Amino acid sequence: MLALQLHKLTKSFPGVLALDNVDFSLKEGEIHALVGENGAGKTTLIKVVAGIYKPDEGQVSLFEKEIDIKNPNEARSLGISIIHQERNLIPELSVAENIFLDRYPKTRFGTIDWERLYQNAREIIQQLDLDIDVRISASNISIANQQLIEIANALSLDPKILILDEPTSSLTETETKKLFSILKKLKSRNVSMIYISHRLEELYEIADRITILRDGQLINVHDSNKVSKDILVQEMVGRELESRFKTSKREIGEQILEIKDLSWENRLFNINMEFYRGEIVGIAGLIGAGRTELADCIFHAKRNYSGEIIIDNKKGKLKSINDAIDHGISLVTEDRKKLGLVSSMSVGNNITLASLKKISSAGVISRKRNENIVTDIIKQLDIKTPSKEQLVRNLSGGNQQKVVIGKWLSSSFKIIIFDEPTVGIDVGARDEMYQLIDQLASDNFCVILISSDITEIINLSDRIYVMKQGTVSGELPKNSSQEDIMRLAT
């Protein structure tokens, strides 16, 4: 039986035909992957199913009955749950409150039954094999665990159809395996799932069928066990891509950064690392290993650290983020939308955020210098935008990431830290990101690469530090194996 069927679905926005007569079917108890580049129409399609958008044309059928989903509440009442790529937790509320938002158990007096709420939340958390205190606020847990709480929220609704939009984007390989185990259990209970991911390797492990969209149109539908990754990529991007991990031969230069006995609260303990010009250094580890906390300390978002961060052999303690920028340190954050960009500002204004001193004189911004920098960066990174005045929030994930990088390219940096640089971007943009990272190292910059994608770490890095529970558990040479990394990480 078909759990969901979309027929001739069409949806347009001003100037954009997001879906063009798209057909899609989801069988009962099936995991059906939906793939395509950013802007292909995937998110629009699932938002129609979830009642967020109303289609211009076409029919939606649920269990072979045509329906008109008017809003998200109606979709939920029909058994449709969606886990969005962007996290929608309320940070001030507890983990338990976020899991059962607007569905709190009540006492006979009509007040919230807190003990039952916490107990229900613990039961859902246990399904995900998580060790999280459900009473603490969502703002006090890691980004990866926030993603898992979103999944817990969806599971608490006991869905018939579960839509997952990039659910593993913030998860390590170990956490991803836990999630896949959950999804397979749901599948055995006849739950039907639409699964969106840019990590094509995952599809062969979890998906039964794969539908490919490109420019709002249906390109093909494959059984996952009958199609190669190369075919998927060609159909997604409409062209062949070069080798994903084609790196240059480089001469490693002098030491530019040294970390000595760095500790921070109860999360980092006596970290010692060295970094050199012209080198890509990978930092691997599981969730909670301290990788992002390390990046924050180097960039000085964490002020009360102890130890030394030595730049160009000059000892001292960075006093502010501006101080870090002045010393040539830049950070491409894990959460680009909240921490890397100002979404209400234009592409051009975001690009020059870190170089205002360079384009200003006596506190007045030079329009000509500003224009030249923005034009050069847009051209250099091939940022796809109608104009520099376009709001950055309207760009695809890959182009938003380019704007974040462009912000630092327009400044005078020596060291660039990438924290999960390919999260939420498609295979074509990911290939461009790898080429850019390699080029930066070739241009004698020091590149620090933090990634949960072990394949990314292995193939791009000249050396690899592995972290575990806030410490450095080991250092590995180029081309080490996944087993070597996981042995040190666990």
Identify whether residues 440 and 374 lie together within a single domain: yes
Identify whether residues 158 and 297 lie together within a single domain: no
Asked which of 182-186, 345-349, 444-448 is least confident by mean pLDDT, the reply is 345-349
The pLDDT score that the predictor gives to residue 270 is 94
pTM over 0.75: no
Residue 208 has pLDDT above 90, yes or no: yes
Structural domain for 169, as ranges: 2-237
What is the total count of domains within the chain? 2
Rounded to whole angstroms, the Cα distance separating 215 from 281 reads: 36
Residue 241 has pLDDT above 70, yes or no: no
Whether the CB-CB separation of 146 and 87 falls below 8 Å is answered with yes
Angle ∠(470,473,474) on CA atoms, nearest 5: 140
Q: Which residue matches tokens 């998906």? A: 207
The pLDDT score that the predictor gives to residue 288 is 76
Asked if residue 248 belongs to a domain, the reply is: no
The pLDDT score that the predictor gives to residue 207 is 95
Identify whether residues 230 and 262 lie together within a single domain: no
What value does the mean pLDDT of the chain take? 85
Residue 218 has pLDDT above 80, yes or no: yes
Residue 480 has pLDDT above 80, yes or no: yes
CATH number at residue 411: 3.40.50.300
Range 327-336 average pLDDT: 81
Identify whether residues 363 and 479 lie together within a single domain: yes
Identify whether residues 192 and 284 lie together within a single domain: no
The pLDDT score that the predictor gives to residue 359 is 67
